[in-house]
Structure 1
């Protein structure tokens, strides 16, 4: 089996940076969808694309760690740091990867907060509807809408 070279690690890191940047772009699209009601429907498609990119990123990370291990380095962050310290060509690429990952992590955390806020709002709305209808649930166990018995009328006014 051939010993991997710093150039193969460099190519892997560059592919990983590209994937992280595409993931960050999706996170920005997701943030827009979470803050603009008209764009909220795009979340399903964005989530599907994010899941595909997350799988790609996991594969690239595994490939990077395998290369590091085959180069005699730790197969983790410390190994990446050691490779960057040993090869001046790798250092700026490794730093760019770390910066891209930090940005993606920050956006993902922010989006998680936005999504949690939306979920709380939806839950409060459902609770209010349940209270108005006197029903414990608006749907039966099979997920079908239940007929709501005539009860309290909602009046504006």
Structure 2
């Protein structure tokens, strides 16, 4: 393995850690927006999230190409094998460890955000169900907007 390839992987790993830090930060802001029920800010945060993810994928692809050229698998096991050949270089080991920690943090944040989104969807569906009552006899207002009640014979009449 050439020193140039090793240094290139080290640089890419450092860049990936920076991007993953940004991604975790965006996920945390998304969680706050979801918790505060600020739907108007979701579009912007989703755009930011997609940009960072796109950048991460580019760096990951470049890193995987280098690993492959060096004869390593392009997965976590391949990275571990690569790191085993570079035991003298502590900084790259620290970057990998940091990347794994950030990935776990991002996974958890994404899980929490999914729960928050699901909770909001349930609330919205409940509200829609109330607004779109399926039992027309239970409707408080008729199609014309007038109050509607049902007498004991089951016939509707317009109230006052």
Q: Give the structure 1 partner of residue 145 of structure 2.
A: 150
Structure 1: distance between partners of 2:135 and 2:12 = 58
1:124-135 equivalent positions in 2, closer than 5 A:
124-131=126-133, 134=136
Q: Give the structure 2 partner of residue 15 of structure 1.
A: 15
Q: Give the structure 2 partner of residue 81 of structure 1.
A: 80
- Normalising to structure 2: TM-score of the pair? 0.78
The answer on whether the counterparts of 1:4 and 1:67 sit within 8 Å (CA) in structure 2 is no
CA RMSD in angstroms, aligned pairs only: 2.2
Q: Which segments of 5 or more consecutive residues in structure 1 lack a partner in the other structure?
A: 135-147
The answer on whether the counterparts of 1:4 and 1:70 sit within 8 Å (CA) in structure 2 is no
Q: Give the structure 1 partner of residue 44 of structure 2.
A: 45
1:20-99 equivalent positions in 2, closer than 5 A:
20-37=20-37, 39-88=38-87, 89=89, 90-99=92-101
Q: Which segments of 5 or more consecutive residues in structure 2 lack a partner in the other structure?
A: 137-142, 149-160
Distance 1:86 1:151, change over 3 A: farther
Distance 1:106 1:150, change over 3 A: same
Secondary structure (helix, strand or coil) at the match of 1:131 reads coil
Q: Give the structure 1 partner of residue 102 of structure 2.
A: 100
Shift in Å, 1:110: 0.7
- Normalising to structure 1: TM-score of the pair? 0.79
The ranges of structure 1 where at least 4 consecutive aligned residues each deviate by more than 6 angstroms after the TM superposition are none
- Aligned residue-pair number: 138
Look at both structures and tell me which one has the larger radius of gyration over its CA atoms: 2
